[in-house]
Amino acid sequence: MIVTEKAAGISGMLHPGKRQTPPAWLIVAISSIALLLLPFIFKLDGKPHADWQQFVGRFHPLAVHLPIGLIVLVPLLEIAGRQRPALREAAAFVLALACAACFGTLALGYLLAYGSGDTGATVTRHMWGGIALTIILLLCLCTRPAWSAGVATRTYPALLVCVMLALLWTAHQGGSLTHGSTYLTEFMPAPMKRVVALASIGASVPHPDSFYAQHIHPVFDSHCVGCHGAAKSQGGLRLDSYDALMRGGKSGPAIVPRNPDKSLLLMRVTLPSTDKHFMPAEGRPPLKPEEIAWLRAWIQQDASATATHLAGITLPESRDEPPPQPVSDYSALMNDIRQMQQAQGAKLAFVSSKPSDGLVLNTVDAAPTFDDAQLAQFQRFAPYIVEANLARTAITDASFDTLGKFSPLRALHLEGTAITGSNLARLATLTQLPYLNLSETRVTSTAVASLKSLPNLRHIYLFDTPAQPASTPDAAQSSVQSTSRSAQ
């Protein structure tokens, strides 16, 4: 097929010519190498980076529609151009625009993943898909002039087909990231679903009355899905569905049915809580001993999606913790909260969009410099703070006076601080507090005894303290003092 383009091109890259051809290939080669090296230079290390990166990056899901639209237009224009040559010229222009749009979108997407610390198999596939797509598109740009001059007439059309396939695949990965991998199939008509189910390995829907649905899934839901779900799949692992759980993560299967000791997931939740591989990560409250026992028994008995009872597990009669008390509405302080968020390294996060769910005080990014004086500045938000993460901060015993005023607290992390607990009794006002972590401090058993009066305190962690030295390898396990006070 011989088509001659008469119009002057928008850039030298679009048209064959003695002068332009070498630079075009050179530019494509250099940009491709740069794209391929990008993930190795700025590694997606799973850690969040600068806020501005996330701010800018979050425009990626919006911006991505531009290159998609442009790319789809290219083959349409080429085909229609058989009848109307002017459209062929337009195709060259649209192709160049699509390339530019791909670079822009790729940059935004990379900022999003890098800035937010997102990792996981889907993120990786989506990223490489985007990179491959951009490179193939660049190759289209290079091979098109030859094609339109009637030389090498197969290469460009073949590359266009590759572009479309890469686009479909990358878009699907991106869709799975934002909507979850079952988004497309969830409301599929049953006959179609069966066809798809045949294609996907071992897809099985857990029975709603199964032990999995009743007891295993809720554990993951409350402890893990924040990092292993649709929004983020750390370690390539999702725990928000039975299938995803059984599929495992980047290290392979997380569950080996009938073999708890070989199941990575169980290993990770039973490590000492100070191990860097311990799950849940980042100092989140560990699983309760009975939850670990359920997991172990469930895996031992085939990790079934349907079994309703497990041998050896008798479930306590509804030992549910009382529903959390709503806190007062913080809406009036919204400006102050926002100001505080900007002024301090420590952050006040909203538990949910409902003001009555309260605030979380998070010092992770500012821990080494966060001291008693800084904590005192948060005192006026005390009526709204339900969780305070002060682990590894510079606070001392002097802060217990302040902390005593945080009456709605339901979780208090003080692990790894310099406290000795001499005035731990000041916490007597925290009548709602069920969870207190004092691991790796100098707290003594005498000091801990002063907490006896706290009516709701069920979990005190004392790993590696004078109250409970880290002598045995099992110390983390035994440090869980589940003091059930239902009998009192």
Can you tell me which of 136, 227, 292, 390 binds ligand HEC, judged by CB under 6 A?
227
We find the least distance from the C-beta atom of residue 364 to ligand HEC, in angstroms, to be 10
- Which of 46/157 has CB closer to ligand HEC? 46
Q: Report how far residue 9's alpha carbon sits from residue 466's, in angstroms, rounded to the nearest whole number.
A: 78
120 binds ligand HEC (CB under 6 A): no
Q: How many CB atoms lie within 10 A of CB 427?
A: 23
Q: Report how far residue 335's alpha carbon sits from residue 107's, in angstroms, rounded to the nearest whole number.
A: 33
Can you tell me which of 82, 250, 338, 452 binds ligand HEC, judged by CB under 6 A?
250
We find the least distance from the C-beta atom of residue 295 to ligand HEC, in angstroms, to be 8
φ/ψ of residue 13, rounded to 5: -65, -25
Do 419 and 443 contact (CB within 8 A), yes or no? yes
Binding segment toward ligand HEC, per CB under 6 A, in 85-93, 195-203, 222-230, 297-305: 222-230
CA distances from 199 to 194, 203, 280, 471 (A): 9, 9, 33, 52
- Which of 362/393 has CB closer to ligand HEC? 362
We find the least distance from the C-beta atom of residue 266 to ligand HEC, in angstroms, to be 8
- Which of 143/362 has CB closer to ligand HEC? 362
Q: Report how far residue 200's alpha carbon sits from residue 211's, in angstroms, rounded to the nearest whole number.
A: 24
- Which of 294/381 has CB closer to ligand HEC? 294
The rounded radius of gyration (Å) of the Cα atoms in the chain is 29
Binding segment toward ligand HEC, per CB under 6 A, in 150-158, 159-167, 195-203, 225-233: 225-233
Do 393 and 371 contact (CB within 8 A), yes or no? yes
223 binds ligand HEC (CB under 6 A): yes
Binding segment toward ligand HEC, per CB under 6 A, in 9-17, 245-253, 324-332, 427-435: 245-253
Site string for ligand HEC, 259-298 (x = CB under 6 A): -----xx--xx-------x-xxxx-x--x-----------
φ/ψ of residue 238, rounded to 5: -115, 140
Q: How far apart are the first and last CA of the chain?
A: 90
- Which of 389/402 has CB closer to ligand HEC? 389
Q: Report how far residue 382's alpha carbon sits from residue 405's, in angstroms, rounded to the nearest whole number.
A: 6
- Which of 15/223 has CB closer to ligand HEC? 223
We find the least distance from the C-beta atom of residue 100 to ligand HEC, in angstroms, to be 35
- Which of 120/421 has CB closer to ligand HEC? 120
Q: Report how far residue 5's alpha carbon sits from residue 75's, in angstroms, rounded to the nearest whole number.
A: 17
Residues 6 or more apart whose CB falls under 8 angstroms from that of 296 comprise: 260, 266
Can you tell me which of 129, 174, 235, 416 binds ligand HEC, judged by CB under 6 A?
235
226 binds ligand HEC (CB under 6 A): yes
- Which of 186/275 has CB closer to ligand HEC? 275
Can you tell me which of 249, 260, 355, 408 binds ligand HEC, judged by CB under 6 A?
249
228 binds ligand HEC (CB under 6 A): yes
| Residue nearest to ligand HEC according to CB distances in the complex | 249
We find the least distance from the C-beta atom of residue 239 to ligand HEC, in angstroms, to be 6
Do 475 and 463 contact (CB within 8 A), yes or no? yes
We find the least distance from the C-beta atom of residue 109 to ligand HEC, in angstroms, to be 20
Closest CA to 313 of 280, 289, 337: 289
Q: Under rule CB under 6 A, which residues in 39-68 are in contact with ligand HEC?
A: 46
Q: Report how far residue 5's alpha carbon sits from residue 33's, in angstroms, rounded to the nearest whole number.
A: 31
- Which of 284/442 has CB closer to ligand HEC? 284
355 binds ligand HEC (CB under 6 A): no
We find the least distance from the C-beta atom of residue 44 to ligand HEC, in angstroms, to be 11
The torsion of the CA quartet 30, 33, 35, 41, rounded to 10 degrees, works out to -120
The distance from CA 303 to its chain's CA centroid, rounded to whole angstroms, is 25
φ/ψ of residue 195, rounded to 5: -60, -45
- Which of 207/284 has CB closer to ligand HEC? 284
Do 341 and 349 contact (CB within 8 A), yes or no? no
We find the least distance from the C-beta atom of residue 260 to ligand HEC, in angstroms, to be 13
Two structure tokens written together for 322: 């009382």
Can you tell me which of 178, 251, 325, 339 binds ligand HEC, judged by CB under 6 A?
251
Q: How many residues bind ligand HEC (CB under 6 A)?
A: 26
Q: What is the DSSP string of 329-387?
A: P-GGGHHHHHHHHHH-SSEEEESSSSGGG-EEEE-GGGGGG--HHHHHHTGGGGGGEEE
We find the least distance from the C-beta atom of residue 333 to ligand HEC, in angstroms, to be 27
Q: Is the CA virtual torsion 465, 471, 477, 479 positive or negative?
A: negative
- Which of 70/237 has CB closer to ligand HEC? 237
Q: Report how far residue 211's alpha carbon sits from residue 219's, in angstroms, rounded to the nearest whole number.
A: 12
- Which of 252/312 has CB closer to ligand HEC? 252
Q: Report how far residue 86's alpha carbon sits from residue 131's, in angstroms, rounded to the nearest whole number.
A: 31
Interface contacts to ligand HEC, rule CB under 6 A:
46, 223-224, 226-228, 234-237, 248-251, 254, 264-265, 268-269, 277, 279-282, 284, 287
